[in-house]
Structure 1
Amino acid sequence: MPHRNRTDDRAVTIGPLDLRSRVDEALAVQAYAFGLSDDEIAVRRQIVLRHITYPGARSLGATTETGRLVGFVYGMPNDRTHWWSTVVEPYLRSRGEDDWLDDSFVITELHVQPGYQNRGIGRALITAITDGATQPRSILSAIDIDSPARGLYHSLGYEDLARQVQFPSAPRPYAVMGAPLPLRRTP
């Protein structure tokens, strides 16, 4: 059931997203939010198109009344053989937290256009996608700084499992976070 969220008299609907057919729109949201170069977008495009073929991969979008995509989330059941898991596993193992890689739903990407941030859209996207997960918990990675995104994740019940995680070619370290499902709802 779509979730409607009013943002300055601009209705935004949260619902299923055919990420394969709207990958370029989704990456435009991510590029705008993260300031990605054309080369980075091209690499991420191939990654997204591969990810959405994985068993259990799902995506949701936030669209305006005119159909413009202003946010999206996608994720999948985690698999220890996937690249992300192989990078974060040593960091989690060193803290005794590598069991989080099993039976978890990983939030692969969550982005909302800056003009639509701080209006509950990111919260609606992540809670809607994890509410449909069959796994008992969720994991994700976020840039390891005090940011609105990390504040959102903490408010939903995500806790830091490992910090200062270095991904190849990423200029800044990340934090790996995990939360039991369903995610915490705030009053």
Structure 2
Amino acid sequence: MTDDVRVGPLDLAAHVDEALAVQAVAFGLGADEVGVRRHIVLRHMTNPGARALGATTPDGRLAGFVYGMPNDRAHWWSTVVEPYLRRYDRDGWLDDSFVITELHVHPDFQARGVGRALITTITDGAAEPRSILSAIDIESPARALYRSLGYTDLAQQVLFPSAPRPYAVMGARLPLRRRARPGDGPAPSGTDFRPPPPPG
């Protein structure tokens, strides 16, 4: 990761507007969507075990953030993805998992290792043995990052109400895979399952 960005704990409730400004640029959100997500983020941060990290520059600018929590089958996200996971007999991943709720890096700081540092640091602090998340179901840089960390598709073409594009649910064993360095042995697979066949 670039030396001019530091990853550390973030009081997301206190910095929600700054974080959502990053998300709006990174994810292409309009003002109405930001307003809706603001309420969601503030509600999420009241859940037991919810944690957030920020990546900040020396002048205090937020370059990226991540937050997540121990997954709960009663949460809205879980109720949407559960039938898709059950189709492949993978709904057990909803238990004993740390869910990455949001991970966003400002475009000015993308492709510099910031996202990788955020997600590995927050999951290193998780008590759960595995992690799950959802990502837009296209071959994007974010999806490539998750795969490099050991996340594998658990279900594809997952449709969320009001979302214009389908998502994939991905899961990985913790700790997440690290970049191989000279002299390292083979990287752990991070998973013990095969991806599902394409829908249809």
- TM-fit CA distance, 1:169: 0.3
TM-score normalised by the chain length of structure 1: 0.95
The answer to whether residue 25 in structure 2 is matched with residue 29 in structure 1 is: no
- After superposition, the CA RMSD in angstroms is 0.6
| Runs of 4 or more above 4 Å deviation | none
Structure 1 or 2: larger strand share? Answer: 1
TM-score normalised by the chain length of structure 2: 0.89
Letter in structure 2 aligned against 1:35: G
Distance in 2 (CA, whole Å) between partners of 1:98 and 1:140 is: 13
Among 159, 163, 177, the alignment partner of 1:184 is 177
Letter in structure 1 aligned against 2:23: Q
Distance in 2 (CA, whole Å) between partners of 1:147 and 1:116 is: 16
SS of the residue corresponding to residue 177 of structure 1 reads strand
The answer to whether residue 5 in structure 2 is matched with residue 6 in structure 1 is: no
Letter in structure 2 aligned against 1:6: T
Hey, what does 2:163 align to over in structure 1? 170
Letter in structure 1 aligned against 2:70: P
SS of the residue corresponding to residue 48 of structure 1 reads helix
SS of the residue corresponding to residue 138 of structure 2 reads coil
Q: Over residues 129-162 of structure 1, what are the superposed CA-to-partner deviations in whole Å (9 max), with x where a residue is unaligned? A: 0000000000000000000000000000000000
Letter in structure 2 aligned against 1:53: T
The answer to whether residue 148 in structure 2 is matched with residue 155 in structure 1 is: yes
- TM-fit CA distance, 1:186: 1.2
List aligned pairs for 1:34-49, cutoff 5 A.
34-49=27-42
Letter in structure 2 aligned against 1:104: S
The answer to whether the 8 Å contact 2:57/2:63 transfers is yes
Hey, what does 2:121 align to over in structure 1? 128
Q: Which 5+ residue runs of structure 1 have no aligned equivalent?
A: none
Hey, what does 1:144 align to over in structure 2? 137
- TM-fit CA distance, 1:115: 1.1
Hey, what does 2:94 align to over in structure 1? 101
The answer to whether residue 68 in structure 2 is matched with residue 68 in structure 1 is: no
SS of the residue corresponding to residue 63 of structure 2 reads strand
Aligned length: 180
SS of the residue corresponding to residue 6 of structure 1 reads coil
Which protein is bigger by CA-based radius of gyration?
2
SS of the residue corresponding to residue 46 of structure 2 reads coil
Distance in 1 (CA, whole Å) between partners of 2:132 and 2:148 is: 14
- TM-fit CA distance, 1:6: 2.3
Q: Over residues 145-185 of structure 1, what are the superposed CA-to-partner deviations in whole Å (9 max), with x where a residue is unaligned? A: 00000000000000000000000000000000000000001
SS of the residue corresponding to residue 66 of structure 1 reads coil
Distance in 2 (CA, whole Å) between partners of 1:165 and 1:114 is: 26
Letter in structure 1 aligned against 2:100: I
